[in-house]
């Protein structure tokens, strides 16, 4: 089972705020904590003392802290990759290598005596993971994590994301990705327009980002890149991540009937396996509501994302629920009762035949 995570940046906040945020995240089942120590500015002892306090608090909550580092930090601290006692003493669960070494070094680091996790950057699009695997790492201590991108329009495209993730999936390595809070205001650097991995996630609600990643099925852990997410975002992210089945948001039409509302929102739906290019069919509703009266209304032409219920005029198909995958004419036998919300419309591409799903009522029309 994957984990949810949050990020904290002690150099840019206070211990009290970080502590309160970690408490809130733990309440909603978050287990991972990402933080950054790419370089130490100012008094080294003071900086490390603040880090240690935050890490200790996270550990007291049963959370697992990964510290993002680069080779320059090793030089600044006077430590070597073959002696990771510094990070063990700091209380870290593991370290993330923002920039790679030579493959052999990463593999050797996984054999550290402290069981520290060594997390590799997944977003570079190189053969680095193949190189590391050729040096027989301890796979139990080897993790992968994508980058986040503070610069608007610099995040990964979905196809490239899939490609780079697959290079880690093929070895069975635990994978992680960053999503973007719309409430958070800062990250490790002064300028940021959010901190997602995938560019198309930047402006989406956090639950929608999570649904997309869950439906893709290639990522284990999902971490909020920026701080601080709101309590509502933490709750919605947890619900989306832990839901048995994806829940797609629907705006019902203003005159949807109580029966139609029940058919759409009070049932679990199954995507029929003999799939059509035009509609996703949820046929079981036909049996459950076979004796109900479903008169024709709102039989306008159909567009992608429309929620349809076949009415009395469709004979044995009456009460079947469908989601339109493309525009079609309506001959009057299908009631258009709602629409997938615009920002979740793309999720239709990720629903799979024979999978179950639910539709939630946004009630905004």
Q: What is the DSSP string of 24-55?
A: HHHHTT--EEEEE-S---S-HHHHHHHHHHHH
What is the signed CA dihedral for 41, 44, 46, 47, rounded to 10 degrees?
A: 50
What pLDDT shows up at residue 210?
98
Rounded distance, CA 305 to CA 308, Å?
9
Q: Are 24 and 50 in contact (CB under 8 A)?
A: no
Whole-number average pLDDT of the chain: 95
> Mutual orientation of helices 15-27 and 44-60 as an angle, nearest 10°?
20
In the chain, domain spans: 4-243, 248-361
d(CA 49, CA 37): 13
* pLDDT for res 53: 95
Class of domain 248-361: mainly beta
SS3 154: coil
Q: Flag residues of the chain having pLDDT under 50.
A: 365
pLDDT at position 363 is 79
What is the structure's pLDDT at 347? Answer: 98
Whole-angstrom distance, CA of residue 360 vs CA of residue 185? 29
Q: Is the full-model pTM beyond 0.75?
A: yes
Do 4-243 and 248-361 fold alike per CATH? no
233-269: burial string, b at 16+ Cβ within 10 Å, e else: bbebbbebbeeeebbbbbbbbeebbeebeebbbebeb
Quick one: fold of 4-243?
TIM Barrel (3.20.20)
Supply the pLDDT for residue 321: 98
**pLDDT score of 309:** 98
Spatial distance between the Cα atoms of 342 and 347, rounded to a whole number of angstroms: 10
CA angle 255, 261, 262 (to 5 degrees): 155
């Amino acid at each position: 089972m994957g984990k949810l995570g949050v990020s904290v940046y002690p150099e840019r906040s206070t211990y009290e705020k970080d502590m309160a945020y970690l408490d809130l995240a733990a309440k909603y089942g978050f287990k991972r904590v990402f933080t950054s120590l790419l370089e130490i500015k100012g008094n080294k002892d003071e900086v490390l003392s603040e880090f240690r306090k935050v890490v200790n608090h996270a550990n007291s909550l049963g959370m697992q802290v990964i510290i993002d580092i680069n080779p320059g930090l090793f030089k600044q601290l006077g430590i070597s990759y073959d002696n990771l006692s510094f990070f063990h003493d700091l209380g870290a669960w593991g370290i993330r290598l923002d920039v790679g070494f030579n493959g052999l070094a990463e593999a050797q680091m996984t054999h550290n005596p402290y069981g520290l996790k060594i997390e590799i950057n997944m977003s570079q699009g190189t053969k680095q993971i193949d190189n590391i695997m050729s040096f027989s790492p301890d796979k139990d201590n080897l993790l992968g994590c994508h980058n986040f991108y503070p610069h608007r329009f610099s995040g990964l495209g979905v196809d490239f994301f899939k490609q780079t993730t697959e290079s880690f999936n093929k070895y069975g390595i635990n994978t992680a990705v960053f999503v973007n809070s719309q409430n958070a205001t800062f990250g490790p650097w002064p300028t940021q327009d959010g901190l997602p991995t995938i560019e198309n996630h930047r402006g989406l609600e956090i639950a929608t980002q999570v649904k997309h990643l869950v439906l893709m099925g290639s990522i284990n852990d999902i971490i909020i890149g920026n701080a601080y997410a709101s309590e509502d975002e933490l709750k919605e992210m947890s619900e989306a991540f832990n839901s048995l089945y994806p829940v797609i948001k629907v705006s019902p039409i203003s005159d949807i009937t109580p029966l139609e509302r029940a058919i759409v929102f009070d049932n679990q739906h199954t995507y029929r396996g003999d799939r059509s290019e035009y509609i996703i069919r949820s046929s079981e509703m036909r049996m459950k509501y076979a004796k109900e009266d479903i008169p024709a209304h709102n039989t306008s032409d159909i567009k992608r994302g429309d929620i349809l219920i076949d009415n009395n005029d469709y004979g044995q198909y009456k009460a079947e629920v469908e989601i339109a995958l493309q525009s079609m004419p309506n001959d009057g036998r299908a009631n258009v009762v709602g629409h997938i919300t615009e920002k979740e419309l793309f999720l239709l591409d990720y629903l799979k035949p024979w999978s179950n799903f639910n539709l939630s009522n946004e009630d905004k029309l």
